Amino acid sequence: MSRILIVEDEPHIASLVAKALRLDGHDVVLSEDGEVGLFIAVADGVDCVVLDLGLPGLPGVMLLGVLREDHRELPVVVLTGYDDPEHRAECLAAGANAFLTKPFTVTSLRSAVREQLAVAGAAGQRDDR
């Protein structure tokens, strides 16, 4: 079972994402604020982050940048309402592993998280050899 952090300030979306990821047996932690999300990601040790961009406290792109400085291996799936090529390019350049736009399907979300956990697990196995 993986521990997934959802950093999303819209309660109904956070609830939907949490419910979807729990279907796959994940332990889910929620944060509505970028600064709190960063603290949880670093202090509590999570296996993947689902990250909104428009957050109070610390904007999602800045949170992503901080995570990439010290935690490059942590998979980050950006989930945002900003559906334009510039935001997508900015997030991918900042180190996002996957980019989903709202509205999204539960299937695409679950698939993106599973894929990123599998890639991270494979990388970890390679590092252990």
> pLDDT digit string (tens) for 79-100?
988 888 888 888 888 899 999 9
- What is the pTM assigned to this prediction? 0.92
Q: Which residue has the tokens 């180190």?
A: 95
Could you list the residue range(s) of the whole structural domain that residue 31 is in? 3-128
CA 18 – CA 6 distance, rounded (Å): 7
% of residues, the chain, pLDDT over 90: 73
Domain count, the chain: 1
Ramachandran angles phi, psi of 17, nearest 5° = -65, -45
Return the CATH number at 114.
Answer: 3.40.50.2300
Most confident of 41-45, 87-91, 112-116: 112-116
